[in-house]
Chains A and B, each alone.
Chain A
Amino acid sequence: SQTIHQWPATLVQPVGSPLSLECTVEGTSNPNLYWYRQAAGRGLQLLFYSVGIGQISSEVPQNLSASRPQDRQFILSSKKLLLSDSGFYLCAWTQASYEQYFGPGTRLTVT
């Protein structure tokens, strides 16, 4: 069966510091991968999606970036965090079917 991992689970970072969040999927190959952000009490905002290694599409201009160095690995990064980057970051995957499955999430607090 497929599983999706995210780490770290929680993170507290000062403004201006770098960020690296990692997501890996097991039990599948060539998945489509997604990064979402969820602000408190709000819906899901799609940040990036990837249909293959090195292929990244950005949905929202911001100081975040994403990379996909391996088939089942998706990384979300920032060179300098802003207060507004605080939120709950979710990684998700799909394959041939239309169902999308989410990871456990990373709660980021920028102080």
Chain B
Amino acid sequence: QKEVEQDPGPLSVPEGAIVSLNCTYSNSAFQYFMWYRQYSRKGPELLMYTYSSGNKEDGRFTAQVDKSSKYISLFIRDSQPSDSATYLCAIKGTSGSRLTFGEGTQLTVNP
């Protein structure tokens, strides 16, 4: 079993839709949770990060963590064509400096 599972998609939605991207993880020692956005042929860009259960909001983006279920989500409201990218979740434990990444979900927002 992989430490982090992420549905690779592809996911295609119309402009303006609410997008839900999800990851599950197996190690309860994971404490820090990040979402990256990667445009085609570019390096991943850190989008959001959190270390606690609950929601964290930044503009149209909301990161949600449920440690009891080992489940994290990224919601995108009012999705735009410019949101079309691959979204990777990344999780880290309390010690060491290694991140464990999901495989990434490819999202396309159609105008």
Contact = CB atoms under 8 A, between A and B. Distances in A.
Interface of A: 6, 32, 41-44, 46, 49, 51, 88, 90, 94, 98-105, 107
A43 B88 contact: yes
B43 A104 contact: yes
Given A44-B101, A88-B41, 16 more contacts: A6-B43, A43-B101, A44-B44, A44-B88, A49-B98, A51-B97, A90-B44, A98-B32, A98-B97, A99-B34, A100-B99, A102-B36, A102-B44, A103-B43, A105-B42, A107-B41
Contacts of A101: 46
A43 B92 contact: no
A102 B45 contact: yes
Q: How large is the interface on B (under 10, 10 to 19, 20 to 34, 35 or more residues)?
A: 20 to 34
Interface of B: 8, 32, 34, 36, 41-46, 49, 51, 88, 90, 92, 97-99, 101-104
Nearest to B32: A98
Contacts of B88: 43-44
A42 B103 contact: yes
B43 A100 contact: no
Contact of A100 (B8, B42, B90): B90
8 contacts: A49-B98, A90-B43, A98-B97, A100-B46, A100-B99, A103-B43, A104-B42, A105-B41
A109 B28 CA distance: 39
B34 A105 contact: no
B102 A43 contact: yes
Given A43-B103, A100-B90, A94 B42 contact: no
Nearest to B104: A43
Contacts of B43: 6, 90, 102-105
Nearest to B45: A102
A43 B41 CA distance: 13
Of A42, A102, A107, most buried by chain B (CB within 10 Å of CB) is A102
A32 B106 CA distance: 29
